[in-house]
Amino acid sequence: MEKELLTIKGNRKVLFPDALFLYIEWKGKANPKKDEELADIIDDLDTEYFPSNKKESIAQSLPFLTFKQAELLFREIKKRYSEFTLKGIALASQPMEQNGRVTRPTTGVPSIEGQPQITPFVITKDYKELVTPLIEEAHRDKRFEKTTYEGISNFFSGPMGLLPCYAESLGLSLVDMPPYPKPGTIEGELPNRLMSNKDKHKQSVAGAKKRKEKTGRVYEDEEVGPPSKLSLILAIGSCTLSVFLLLMLMVYNSNFTRVKKELVATTDKVERLTMIQDHEHEIDVMARYFLSYYYSGDKDKLKAYLDNNDAKFTNPEVATVSSTMLEKVELVKNEKDTYEVTYVVGTTDEAQKTTVRRVTFNVKKKPSATQGWVVTSEPTTTAFATPTSPSTETSAENTENKEG
């Protein structure tokens, strides 16, 4: 049974200048209008990566996406869902014109006719990038069964093909791209993609017969003279090209490893930021309660907010809290369930002296606790420096000297 091909619905134009890009179709209720989490993902990505120009946002571009937009979306979906199925994706293009050295779109009307498609397109935890799946699917597509392996390879690797357009969209060099799959390594690949030795021999014999009919001789039987200058130049050129390709391969391996590490680091950073955003509000609520009791001087009221380990030795201070401002929340390095919070706290003592300080402590989630979180480290307090005038600084120094 042949797969149903995707077709573009409506007459929406694309808003970006890319020659090649992606067309996607959602499946059932798995779409931004009915899936709140998916809508949040798109909104968060647009806020982080496309804040200044809504025309470049994912929400405005759909159902068409640049390769950069698509990779950002698919990688975030990979993190949030165990498995996510789209009805399909297709390579899409738009008419372009050459004006001097500048190539630009003409009508903005997209097309997916005759382009590789994947239906359905499933994003799992094993998802890496979209280039390789599109290439492999093209080698399985019966629409291209008369096209040789070399023909499909040239289609993807040519000047306006998927590989250079994808690299430009993501700001990569071609050596950073995933390797093109070798013939015979693609699961479900259509047979007879490569010209067989028998066919090559037939082609060679047919060519020899034509030459004999034309000249009376078959070139293979002719006397071989000394190599010409052109032959020497070609031989030297071939050697030079071989060395160049070897060097390019070495550079490719090095850069691919580097880019892979950078992607892992970026993914980890986005994951940590997402976790902070998800828990920041509930942490802030608990921490404000904790700080009010911390400066109450009442150890018993404080116990409900302390972890049973290091934090249980925390002793409260006596002061009246006049202001509490959350300065930052960070995940503790190498830990995914402990957060470090820093507050700027203003207090007034019995002498009505106001002090502003930074208070830093760690918290972790504990569902059985009063506010669902507990403090796991003793608070550390440091002075909060604020910009002051020279006269105020002098006055502050005199006050410190007197206190000393």
Indicate yes or no: pTM above 0.75.
Answer: no
pLDDT of residue 45: 94
Domain with CATH 3.10.450.540 in the chain: 280-403
Q: What is the mean pLDDT of residues 302-315?
A: 76
**pLDDT tens digits, one per residue of 202-217:** 555 555 565 555 555 4
What angle in degrees, to the nearest 10, is found between the helix axes of 67-80 and 36-49? 130
E strand spans, 27-167: 64-65, 83-86, 88-93, 96-99, 102-105, 117-118, 121-124
Task: Report whether 86 contacts 26 (CB < 8 A).
Answer: yes
**pLDDT tens digits, one per residue of 375-392:** 999 899 998 865 443 444
Burial label, 191 (beta-carbon count in 10 A; 0-12, 13-18, 19+): exposed
pLDDT of residue 404: 43
pLDDT of residue 340: 95
Report the distance separating Cα 6 and Cα 117, nearest Å: 8
Q: What is the mean pLDDT of residues 230-245?
A: 79
pLDDT band at 400 (very low <50, low <70, confident <90, very high): very low
Q: Higher confidence at residue 224 or residue 169?
A: 169
pLDDT of residue 403: 46
Percent above pLDDT 70 for the chain: 81
pLDDT of residue 249: 80
Cα distance between the two ends of the chain: 88
Q: What is the mean pLDDT of residues 141-163?
A: 87
CA torsion 162-167-170-172 (nearest 10°) is 170
**Mean pLDDT over all residues of the chain?**
81
Kindly tell me if the per-residue pLDDT of 219 is higher than 80. Answer: no
Would the CA dihedral through 370, 376, 382, 387 be positive or negative? negative
Q: What is the mean pLDDT of residues 274-289?
A: 89
Ramachandran angles phi, psi of 118, nearest 5°: -130, 115
pLDDT of residue 88: 95
Question: Which among 136, 140, 142 is positioned nearest to 178, based on CA atoms?
Answer: 136
Kindly tell me if the per-residue pLDDT of 36 is higher than 90. Answer: yes
Q: Higher confidence at residue 261 or residue 363?
A: 363
> Is CATH 3.60.40.10 the right assignment for the domain spanning 280-403?
no
100 contact partners, CB below 8 Å, separation of at least 6: none
Sheet holding 117-118, edge to edge: 64-65, 20-25, 88-93, 117-118
Collapsing DSSP to helix, strand or coil, 284 comes out as helix
pLDDT of residue 392: 41
Report the distance separating Cα 81 and Cα 27, nearest Å: 15
Lowest mean pLDDT segment, chosen from 116-130, 138-152, 224-238, 381-395: 381-395
pLDDT of residue 81: 95
pLDDT band at 308 (very low <50, low <70, confident <90, very high): confident
Which residue in the block uniquely carries the two structure tokens 């779109």?
105
pLDDT of residue 221: 42
* Count of Cβ atoms closer than 10 Å to residue 375 Cβ: 25
Residue 217: C-alpha distances to residues 225, 248, 372 (Å): 16, 43, 93
List of long-range contacts for 44-47, beta carbons under 8 Å, 24+ apart: 44/76, 44/274, 45/72, 45/73, 45/76
pLDDT of residue 87: 95
Task: Report whether 94 contacts 140 (CB < 8 A).
Answer: no
Collapsing DSSP to helix, strand or coil, 238 comes out as helix
Kindly tell me if the per-residue pLDDT of 396 is higher than 60. Answer: no
pLDDT of residue 269: 81
CA torsion 295-299-304-305 (nearest 10°) is 40
Residue 259: C-alpha distances to residues 27, 262, 263, 300 (Å): 32, 5, 6, 53
Kindly tell me if the per-residue pLDDT of 136 is higher than 70. Answer: yes
User: Which residue type sits at 350?
Assistant: E
**pLDDT tens digits, one per residue of 257-279:** 777 677 776 777 888 888 888 88
